[in-house]
Structure 1
Amino acid sequence: MNKFKIFSIALLATTVANAQDLDQAKKAIDAEQFDKAKSLLKSIIKAKPSDGEANFVLGNVYLNQSVVDSAKIYYLNGLEAADEKHLNYIGLGQLDLDNKNTASAQANFALATKEMKRKDVNEFIYIGRAYMNSANPDYKSAITVLQRALAIEPQNATALLAIGDAYYGASNQNDAYKAYRDAFTADNKLLRAKMQLGVLLKGAKSYDEAIKSFNEVIALDANYGPVYRELAETYYKWARNKPSTSKVNLEKAITNYEKYLSLTDYSLDSKMRHADFLILVKDYKSLEVVANKMIAEDKVNPRIFRYLGYAAYENGNVDVAIKSIEDFIKVPTNKVIGRDYLYLGLAKIKKGTNAEGVVDQAAFDAGLVDIKKAIELEPLVVEELADFGKELFGKKQYEQAAAIFELGAANAESKNYLDDAVYYGISVYYGNAGKPAETRNVTELQKADAMFDKILTASPTYDEAYIYKGRINSVLDKDDMIIKNYEEYANRMTAKGAEEMAKPATVKKVVESYNAIGAAYANTDKAKAVEYFNKTLVLDPTNKYASESVKALK
């Protein structure tokens, strides 16, 4: 009997210790200390292989880090455990959701809830999280299942936090706010709920209020790491949305991200998150240092070569950039993204550019092939090309500039669509305007003319389009279209009244219009030609071209 008592006490102590360790592991996960969490969970499983929940939670950590094979191994191991094994069906269900197999996912969730007791809620919370954390999130289903948990236990802080995240994912800011507030009221140690109130403010671009909210979290616990990541992202977004604050806020963003790292674990995974953030804030010098350090630690993780390639390009080391990105792309198991090909293409073009800034056409064409691959994978990567196109335009490399801007002008969803379309049209014009007729690219000129029609459809008040269409048709020697477009521009300007016609820039373009129309009429209708040249002389009595043309026509 004494032996039984001693064994029972020992077993109880082990059970309590395991429960405490599991709670510590969950706290580490919330604090985004994933290496610490994995170490704790592996210790629990080693001490008590029958702990199905520890296997499930460890599988979730791996799945969060996109290590799918390891996640599945722990879920399957968990199904063999004696305790809480049913939770692992939820992990397998999330894998099904990731693979867009909803029917199989629901079957696994049914197995997980099959033997739930009347007052159990954890299964519903975990399933809600699975719907949200999937590669194909389903917030509506998450809300439905989390409401079942709250129907049983309305003040369950974990369920309130989860449904707050589901509402936030579904863009229901009001219900998300209420859920986060109620979660923190139910458990004032649940700092993530308090932090999420600031996340809502950040999403609404109330950056100063968001920062104030995050500082309230820091006042409660200055060692809660995730709040510094949120602060970093807030300062970054503030810098992006208000360029006048850019320098100061980007510095604050980097400082807070470094603080975040110091409070998590300096694992390779956290360093990669740091690298992702350095790309975001465009701190490429630091990124190259971080990438080289990671390569020294782990020569086999391919993602590091992506970081090194990006940083090397931005820092002018194009040979390293090309080799690093090609080393990454050539591995079949690597998930290549549009930005990889974008940097590879830009690096090839940069490598083929001489000291005077002249681009070798073969190098440009090779780079353009990769840039087009980037756009196939990620259409909105075209938004990254505008500055490069303008750089080429500024160097009067109009043919190359047109090829870059044409890519942006092909995507009406791009934030630079109209700007790129205009630059494409004028690049084609300037690239052909000074050439002999036999060397002009008629096809490109016609495409440029059509592009300005698309611009006018998207922005009917963009009057400058008619000037450019007039100029392009002048290069094409199409008198009827010269007259039509320049006349439209002149009529629009004069219709705006005296205030518009008092502007020197407007007068200059209207004079250009009248002279071009006069020249177009000169061979077919001398009276009309003289009429338009005289209109020029009303606006600019000293205009030599108009006065000499009138004399010649008379």
Structure 2
Amino acid sequence: MNKFKILGLALVASATAAKAQDINQAKKAIDAEQFDKAKTMLKSIIKSKPSDGEANFVLGNVYLNQSVVDSAKIYYNNGLQASDKKNLNYIGLGQLDLDAKNTAAAQANFALATKDMKKKDVNEFIYIARAYMNSENPDYKNATDVLKRALLVDPQNAQALLAIGDAYYGANNQNDAYKAYRDAFTADNTLLRAKMQLGVLLKGAKSYDEAIKSFNEVIALDANYGPVYRELAETYYKWARNKPSTSKVNLQNAITNYEKYLSLTDYSLDSKMRHADFLVLVKDYKNLEVVANKMIAQDKVNPRIFRYLGYAAYENGNVDVAIKSIEDYIKTPSNKVIGRDYLYLGLSKIKKGTDAAGNVEQTAFDAGLADIKKAVEMEPLVVEELADFGKALFGKKQYLQAASIFELGAGNSESKNYLDDSVYYGISVYYANVNKSTGAPDAAALAKAEATFDKILVASPNYDEAYLYKARINRLLEKDDAMTKNYEDYVTKITAKGADELAKPAVKTKFIEAYNNIAASYANTDKAKAIEYFNKTLVLDPANAYATQSLKSLK
């Protein structure tokens, strides 16, 4: 009987060890971002032992990480019915509360999770901290406070050190994050994510060479650790963006490393969506369209792929596919629509209404512009992506349409293109009116353009061309006094720059323009002044016909 009891205990211990090993293997799969593999393992554990609360909790976390909230909630609630570690599931429900901005309910659930903790337990604290960080409304301070409690109990707990490193990193505390990651890897040199995060910090500091060296050290320890290749891919991408001279090589390195990362995941729909996300990032639209069409051919597909098909189809010139894909995505109530969706829809409508010569039909432009304005309302900084489109319209002398695009950028002082867009807006409005074949100039638009040049001079006082365009605008508006002052301001500013500036042919041409227009404004009120300025023109251009004829008339 005693032997039987011992054997029975041994079997229980063995079963517990096997179960723990399965949970640990599932956690390793999650860390490796092999989420389908982890889900399969966890479902197998739950099937063999429905009373396993931890397996339910971890599986719920996987679903929540993938934004499948309903499934996450089901597993958390199932886990509460378990007899083993059911308390962990209160943490999952707490994160759902945090996502809903119900902090009081979240804290109540966290209290239930920790109510029966033993003195040496720390896992609950780590999971609660992760909930604070992984929430849609992250709270890094509370995460840090909870993890400090864990480290008081177990100062060398590698997972707690890794988590507090993530909390510091989320709070932009780079120094403490570095120390925590280093300590985590010292505590457990198999914890590759901690070592990888040291490279992530270097990537964030734009030390791309050093970051790559750091990631290669992780690869030297385990060449099959998938997430490090994703980090390498993102580092090469950022390097390409920040140093355009390296763009071609580094973007290819980014794509190569991302493909390596994919080969080490499970090629699930989720990993394919991450692939699509990355292709959007590196603007590899040809591959994106291929990937999107392959995914759509599958039975189950993340609806976001229709968004990406729309983006890729637009970039590849397939505007009908682009419009249909994006409209289908937007029209589905359950889909989360973002500003970029309307941006691409608007651009697609405009491209569809553009003829072979590059001229945009006005009705199509207006329809597309309405969508682009929706995009800007939703995401104001999307204006940064309109500059090239506006410049293309400007280059084709479609000044009215260009002005409509640049006006959006000129209205957002937070945009990196604010000054550039403002200048193009003002100039576009001027040329749209000076080149009018019929009808009077648009006084309201010109007044807005002049006000924009005033704002430019506040933001960039040395942009002297603003005075020149203000003068030209006031000439169109027939405001002679304002025009004269603007031209005089321009002449004064340029003259102060010295003889080298005055010797430039383009400056000479503009001075002639200024002198002739100032003289003309004085012609009926102050002949002496008019003669003075026409003579200034003749000093620069003795053969100037307008000044010569005007002087004859005045005499």
- The answer on whether the counterparts of 2:53 and 2:88 sit within 8 Å (CA) in structure 1 is yes
Partner of 1:13: 14
The 2-side partners of 1:540 and 1:197 are apart by 66
Partner of 1:544: 545
Q: Which moved more, 1:37-46 or 1:502-511?
A: 502-511
Structure 2 residue matching 1:56: 3-state secondary structure: helix
- The answer on whether the counterparts of 2:269 and 2:302 sit within 8 Å (CA) in structure 1 is no
1:362-401 → structure 2 map (5 Å cutoff) = 362-401=363-402
RMSD: 1.4
Structure 2 residue matching 1:425: 3-state secondary structure: helix
The 2-side partners of 1:140 and 1:463 are apart by 49
Give the residue type in structure 2 aligned to 1:78. G
The 1-side partners of 2:179 and 2:63 are apart by 31
| Matched-pair identity in % | 80
Partner of 2:287: 286
Structure 2 residue matching 1:297: 3-state secondary structure: coil
Give the residue type in structure 2 aligned to 1:111. L
Question: Once the 2 structures are TM-superposed, how far is the Cα of residue 547 of structure 1 from its aligned partner?
Answer: 3.0
Question: Once the 2 structures are TM-superposed, how far is the Cα of residue 435 of structure 1 from its aligned partner?
Answer: 2.2
Q: Which moved more, 1:272-281 or 1:458-467?
A: 458-467
Partner of 1:86: 87
Question: Once the 2 structures are TM-superposed, how far is the Cα of residue 479 of structure 1 from its aligned partner?
Answer: 0.5
Whether 1:213 aligns to 2:236 is no
The 2-side partners of 1:115 and 1:276 are apart by 42
Q: Deviations over 1:289-310 (max 9, x none)?
A: 0001001113553212111111
1:183-332 → structure 2 map (5 Å cutoff) = 183-298=184-299, 301-332=302-333
Whether 1:418 aligns to 2:429 is no
Question: Once the 2 structures are TM-superposed, how far is the Cα of residue 113 of structure 1 from its aligned partner?
Answer: 1.1
Q: Deviations over 1:76-102 (max 9, x none)?
A: 111111111111111111111111111
The 2-side partners of 1:551 and 1:541 are apart by 14
Give the residue type in structure 1 aligned to 2:513. E
The 2-side partners of 1:295 and 1:8 are apart by 52
Give the residue type in structure 2 aligned to 1:301. N
Structure 2 residue matching 1:85: 3-state secondary structure: coil
Give the residue type in structure 2 aligned to 1:428. V
Q: Deviations over 1:260-299 (max 9, x none)?
A: 0000110011001000100110100000000010011135
Q: Deviations over 1:90-146 (max 9, x none)?
A: 111111111111111111111111111111111111111111111011111111111
Partner of 2:532: 531
Structure 2 residue matching 1:439: 3-state secondary structure: coil
The 1-side partners of 2:448 and 2:500 are apart by 35
- The answer on whether the counterparts of 2:295 and 2:301 sit within 8 Å (CA) in structure 1 is no
Partner of 1:178: 179
The 1-side partners of 2:547 and 2:79 are apart by 89
Question: Once the 2 structures are TM-superposed, how far is the Cα of residue 13 of structure 1 from its aligned partner?
Answer: 2.1
Q: Deviations over 1:456-507 (max 9, x none)?
A: 1222221111111111111111101111111111111112222322333333
The 2-side partners of 1:437 and 1:288 are apart by 45
TM-score, scaled to structure 2:
0.97
Partner of 1:44: 45
Question: Once the 2 structures are TM-superposed, how far is the Cα of residue 518 of structure 1 from its aligned partner?
Answer: 1.5
Give the residue type in structure 2 aligned to 1:23. N
The 2-side partners of 1:511 and 1:179 are apart by 68
The 2-side partners of 1:509 and 1:239 are apart by 40
The 2-side partners of 1:356 and 1:76 are apart by 62
Question: Once the 2 structures are TM-superposed, how far is the Cα of residue 436 of structure 1 from its aligned partner?
Answer: 5.4
The 2-side partners of 1:143 and 1:512 are apart by 66
Q: Deviations over 1:36-66 (max 9, x none)?
A: 1111111111111111111111111111111
Partner of 1:449: 450
Structure 2 residue matching 1:246: 3-state secondary structure: helix
Give the residue type in structure 1 aligned to 2:532. E
The 1-side partners of 2:115 and 2:276 are apart by 43
Question: Once the 2 structures are TM-superposed, how far is the Cα of residue 180 of structure 1 from its aligned partner?
Answer: 0.8
Structure 1 residue matching 2:439: 3-state secondary structure: helix
The 2-side partners of 1:416 and 1:375 are apart by 14
Partner of 1:333: 334
The 2-side partners of 1:128 and 1:526 are apart by 81
Closer, same or farther: CA 504–34 of 1 in aligned 2, 3 Å: same
Closer, same or farther: CA 300–203 of 1 in aligned 2, 3 Å: closer
The 1-side partners of 2:524 and 2:58 are apart by 84
Give the residue type in structure 1 aligned to 2:425. Y
Question: Once the 2 structures are TM-superposed, how far is the Cα of residue 147 of structure 1 from its aligned partner?
Answer: 1.0
The 2-side partners of 1:523 and 1:154 are apart by 89
Give the residue type in structure 1 aligned to 2:389. F
Give the residue type in structure 2 aligned to 1:205. K
Partner of 1:114: 115
The 2-side partners of 1:291 and 1:223 are apart by 27
- The answer on whether the counterparts of 2:165 and 2:181 sit within 8 Å (CA) in structure 1 is yes
Structure 2 residue matching 1:135: 3-state secondary structure: coil
The 2-side partners of 1:380 and 1:319 are apart by 27
Partner of 1:133: 134
Q: Which moved more, 1:435-444 or 1:283-292?
A: 435-444
The 2-side partners of 1:512 and 1:151 are apart by 77
Partner of 1:504: 505
The 2-side partners of 1:167 and 1:544 are apart by 72
TM-score, scaled to structure 1:
0.98
- The answer on whether the counterparts of 2:269 and 2:301 sit within 8 Å (CA) in structure 1 is no
The 2-side partners of 1:316 and 1:490 are apart by 47
Partner of 1:31: 32
The 1-side partners of 2:299 and 2:414 are apart by 39
